[in-house]
């Protein structure tokens, strides 16, 4: 998970009108690990086009260190009941075969350094445990390229780097994995791990310097950030405008595609309406700042093992649709072809108003920075479950 941003004061230097992707193109969900266990979760997740999947490398490593690991690609045609579940990636490929039919875009986030053979999210491997970081990354990238070609559209070089093998080792692994994937797949794009460029020191210091400038951005087609409104008690409750600096500061990197890999709010602490309101407001702000994708964390409540993100899901643990699910479903279905056409208010005096169009009709979404209710322009969904 990621970081909260600087304070709500913001010097908006990029206030010219923008042409964003559409709501349907932008909004996605995190949920791969949670989709395999429930057909109902997968059915409800399928209203969104974009899915981001966490891939636990310990399924492949099985306790081995990267320096001792020789990848073996899965070449089985899936779905295949005879799939070799002991083979590298085979069990996961079987799942991807199913997911790739449901979502238009599938992205995989290997837990490269966070937890493979370790207590998550303890630390990075030391450089000596990696062996040659480039060669280890290249071998693993080739495996992913062969195993998941045609099923996965985007490969990340990691999720959220914790600890410290150092920037040099991390960049070497990243280059190896990127080049390994590209050597075996002409279709997969490469996305960075979380490369926050701003955020609170409290959480940021546990990540890889927390600075875009430390990462070799030439390796990637896409740069992603993870951003959460973490308050002083490490609860996900701060309003989305507090995260705006993290979005605007990525302007120098717009030669790359920009994604928000994770964002979410705690419905248990905020209430379901405020959770929904904050998600809409953040998605609009991300679109206004040129981000192509926003993956909401998570499709379903984690709880209780993933504190402080236990109740950030769009569905509760029983697959009941929260207001946030219903509102985002409305955006990707009824307003899926709408994109920003002009800006009426961009934060001055706490006022925000953005006009969207599908080329024929217009929709204005507006709010005050201290609002807790749904923004104006968003229809209130029925409270009863369908």
**What is the full DSSP assignment across 57-105?**
THHHHTT--GGG---------SS-TT--TTSTTHHHHHHHHHHHHH-SE
What 3-state class would DSSP assign to 54? Answer: strand
- Please count the residues of the chain: 386
Q: What is the pLDDT of residues 215-237, one digit of tens each?
A: 788 889 999 998 999 888 889 99
**Which pLDDT score, from 0 to 100, does residue 280 have?**
98
The parts of the chain modelled with pLDDT lower than 70 are: 1-18, 33-34, 36-37, 58-59, 61-63, 75-92, 112-127, 162-165, 196-213, 303-305, 384-386
**Which pLDDT score, from 0 to 100, does residue 208 have?**
47
Q: What is the pLDDT of residues 65-121, one digit of tens each?
A: 777 777 777 766 655 444 554 566 666 677 777 788 899 999 998 876 554 444 444
**Which pLDDT score, from 0 to 100, does residue 200 have?**
47
Helix axes 323-333, 272-288, angle to 10 degrees: 40
5 phi and psi angles, rounded to 5 deg: -95, -170
In what helix (H) or strand (E) does residue 377 lie, and over which residues does it extend? Answer: none
Is residue 206 within 8 Å of residue 160, measured between CB atoms? no
Residues 275, 278, 280: CA angle, nearest 5 degrees: 110
241 phi and psi angles, rounded to 5 deg: -60, -25
- Residue closest to 375 by CA, chosen among 264, 272, 279, 299: 279
353 phi and psi angles, rounded to 5 deg: -155, 125
**Which pLDDT score, from 0 to 100, does residue 98 have?**
79
Count Cα neighbours of 205 within 13 Å in the Cβ-side half-sphere: 2
**Which pLDDT score, from 0 to 100, does residue 199 have?**
52
pTM, whole model, 2 decimals?
0.88
Q: What is the pLDDT of residues 270-286, one digit of tens each?
A: 999 999 999 999 999 99
Query: Dihedral, CA atoms, 284, 289, 290, 294, nearest 10 degrees?
Result: -50
Q: Which CATH class is domain 23-336?
A: alpha beta
**Which pLDDT score, from 0 to 100, does residue 116 have?**
42
**Which pLDDT score, from 0 to 100, does residue 18 have?**
57
Distance of CA 152 to the CA centre of its chain: 15
Contacts of 380 (CB under 8 A, 6+ apart): 374
């Amino acid at each position: 998970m990621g970081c909260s941003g600087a304070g709500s004061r913001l010097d908006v230097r990029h206030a010219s009108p923008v042409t964003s992707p559409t709501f349907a193109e932008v909004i996605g969900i995190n949920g791969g690990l949670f989709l395999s266990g429930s057909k109902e979760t997968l059915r409800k997740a399928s209203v969104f086009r974009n899915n981001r999947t966490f891939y636990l490398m310990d399924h492949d490593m099985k306790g081995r260190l990267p320096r001792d690991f020789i990848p073996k690609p899965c070449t089985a045609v899936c779905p295949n009941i005879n799939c070799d579940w002991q083979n590298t990636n085979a069990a996961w490929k079987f799942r991807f075969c199913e997911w790739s039919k449901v979502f238009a875009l599938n992205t995989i986030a290997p837990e490269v350094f966070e937890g493979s053979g370790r207590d998550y999210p303890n630390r990075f491997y030391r450089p000596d445990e990696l062996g040659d970081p480039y060669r280890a990354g290249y071998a693993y990238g080739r495996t992913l390229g062969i195993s998941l070609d045609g099923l996965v559209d985007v490969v990340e070089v990691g999720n959220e780097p914790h600890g410290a093998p150092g920037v040099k080792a991390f960049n070497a692994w990243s280059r190896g994995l990127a080049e390994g994937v590209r050597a075996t797949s002409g279709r997969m794009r490469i996305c960075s791990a979380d490369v926050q460029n701003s955020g609170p020191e409290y959480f940021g210091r546990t990540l890889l310097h927390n600075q875009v400038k430390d990462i070799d951005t030439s390796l990637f087609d896409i740069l992603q950030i993870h951003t959460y409104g973490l308050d002083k008690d490490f609860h996900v409750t701060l309003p989305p405008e507090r995260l705006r600096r993290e979005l605007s500061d990525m302007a120098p990197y717009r030669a790359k595609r920009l994604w928000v890999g994770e964002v979410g709010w705690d419905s248990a602490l905020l209430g379901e309406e405020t959770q929904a309101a904050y998600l809409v407001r953040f998605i609009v702000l991300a679109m206004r700042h040129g981000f192509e994708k926003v993956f909401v964390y998570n499709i379903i409540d984690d709880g209780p093992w993933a504190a402080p993100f236990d109740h950030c899901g769009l569905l509760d643990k029983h697959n009941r649709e929260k207001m946030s699910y219903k509102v985002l479903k409305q955006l990707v279905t009824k307003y899926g072809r709408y994109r920003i056409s002009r800006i009426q208010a961009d934060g001055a005096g706490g006022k925000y108003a953005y006009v969207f169009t599908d080329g024929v009709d217009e929709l204005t979404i507006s709010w005050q920075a201290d609002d807790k209710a749904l923004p104006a322009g968003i229809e209130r969904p029925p409270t009863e479950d369908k």
